[in-house]
Amino acid sequence: MFNELLVETREDDCHSREGSGVPERLCVAEAGFGSFRTRIAAALALVLIAGGCETKPKLPPGVTPTVEVAAPLKADVWKQVATAADEDRINRLGLAWQEALDEARKVAAGEIRREGVLLRPRAGLQRPAPTPGSYNCRLIKLGKATAKARAYESFKPFFCYVEVEDDLLTIVKQTGSQRPAGRLWEDDDPRLIFLGSLALGERDRQLAYGDDPKRDMAGVLERIEPFRWRLVIPWPQSTSKLDVFELTPVPVQPK
């Protein structure tokens, strides 16, 4: 149909141009070229129409399409509680280890070696949750957050307590002028996330996490050996770049 219309049109055009000086062969060639273009256009149109008519494959009888939803991450829970500043501190834990150890080794390389796995990055083991009870806790501060601070400080042990509260483990320092306390949240890595606050002075009441951003604390609790844990606080709001608390169970637990 397209070809017949095209030939008739071109022939009429050739008849109308008789005597105009246009060679007959040129006129016929033009008619043929036009026919070729029309065939190409018609073929493309058919391809597009055929593509638009494609239908989705039908499922066999009895088969129902399903959508798999991934299980929520454990980290999603504690991230809903943590402030943006504390989440950033935890995300930069590796950098805190690197900078703090680099500075501390300049003045206390021997002490760091003797501490062994306690001051070794990426030393966390599976099953990080500690058993509720009393612990000997010892603090080591690494790196300098201020010019006058020391790059390495080790403190005498004190008592802290791990207990269960609302299905979450909590850690509380029981004595001293600075008493950190907070909850431990599950994470997708073999570690627990610590979100807490710092009480100042014997009479200062313990604040809930988030009540005073200047006292908020955030870190990671890991099991590093049998019956040995560490609580690592990166970028604490103090004079150091990394605080490491060693936790070992008290031999005789109070009743």
Question: 56-90: per-residue pLDDT in tens?
Answer: 667 677 667 776 666 789 999 999 999 999 999 99
* pTM, 2 dp: 0.72
pLDDT number for residue 62: 67
- 10 Å CB burial of residue 108 (0-12, 13-18, 19+) is buried
- Among residues 48, 85, 82, which one has the least CA distance to residue 185? 82
Q: Which residues of the chain have pLDDT under 50?
A: 1-20, 22-34, 47-48, 50
Phi, psi of 138 (to 5 degrees): -130, 135
Measured between alpha carbons, how far is 126 from 229 in angstroms, rounded to an integer?
12
pLDDT number for residue 178: 74
Query: Are the C-beta atoms of 132 and 169 separated by less than 8 Å?
Result: yes
Q: What angle do CA 80, 83, 86 make, to 5 degrees?
A: 115
- Do you know the residue count of the chain? 255
pLDDT number for residue 45: 54
Query: Are the C-beta atoms of 203 and 138 separated by less than 8 Å?
Result: no
- H or E stretch including 84? helix 84-91
pLDDT number for residue 181: 93
Q: Helix or strand or coil: residue 11? A: helix
Question: 159-175: per-residue pLDDT in tens?
Answer: 999 999 988 999 998 77
Q: What class has domain 76-249?
A: mainly beta
Domain boundaries, the chain: 2-52, 76-249
pLDDT number for residue 196: 96
